Amino acid sequence: MNNNRVKNLKKELLSDNWYTLYKVSYDYQKPDGEFEPQTREAYDRGNGATILLYNKENKTVILTRQFRLPTYLNGNDDGMLIEACAGLLDKDNAEDCIKKETEEETGYKISKVKKIFEVYMSPGSVTEIVYFFVAEYTKDMLVGEGGGLDHEQENIEVLELPFERAVKMIETGEIKDAKTIMLLQYAQIHQLV
């Protein structure tokens, strides 16, 4: 941490049940030079990775659908969300993580991925950086059913969709997940599919 405008940083642990939630107090220097005390909460869930699997020849993409409690609590009627495959890094680097998550969630074993960017997804309250990848898939890479790991209670449905339909699902509101929208738009801009 190397910002001279921040001093007296103090963290107080509020919760460490699922991930960690901190109350953070600090003094922040305003443009007039005066330091002002501020307090925020920061949720630390670790960093993650996400990937869009695409098939250029068939013009399809692999997405997933699963129940997401926070969306259910915020008005998503059934709580189901269509998303790109993703996972937390744990102790892996981003590339190893996304290869492992891809096989666990989608059943596709990929060896070659391309990192396209990294993003703070909700910087006002969450510390997480998400590393974004794309990779081409073919049917011969399918080694399992996918669906996630039982002990992680993921219950993931694997979807193979025509690329144009997936893009249209952004407009219709069927896809509301930010990382998935970003990956589909990247694929559209760069004409991957």
Claim to verify: residue 39 and residue 103 sit in the same structural domain? no
Residues 110 and 135 sit within 8 Å (Cβ to Cβ): yes
Rounded Cα–Cα distance for residues 41 and 11 (Å): 9
Claim to verify: residue 73 and residue 36 sit in the same structural domain? no
pTM of this prediction? Answer: 0.93
| Eight-state DSSP code of residue 156 | P
Rounded Cα–Cα distance for residues 57 and 77 (Å): 35
Rounded Cα–Cα distance for residues 117 and 52 (Å): 13
The number of folded domains in the chain is 2
Which H or E run includes 15? strand 6-15
> How confident is the prediction along the chain (193 residues), in pLDDT tens digits per residue?
789 999 999 999 999 998 999 999 999 999 999 999 999 999 999 999 999 999 999 999 999 999 999 999 999 999 999 999 999 998 879 999 999 999 999 999 999 999 999 999 999 999 999 999 999 999 999 999 888 777 666 789 999 999 999 999 999 999 999 999 999 999 999 999 9
Number of H helices, E strands in the chain: 4, 10
Query: Which amino acid type is present at position 182?
Result: M
Claim to verify: residue 54 and residue 38 sit in the same structural domain? no
CATH of the domain at 173: 3.90.79.10
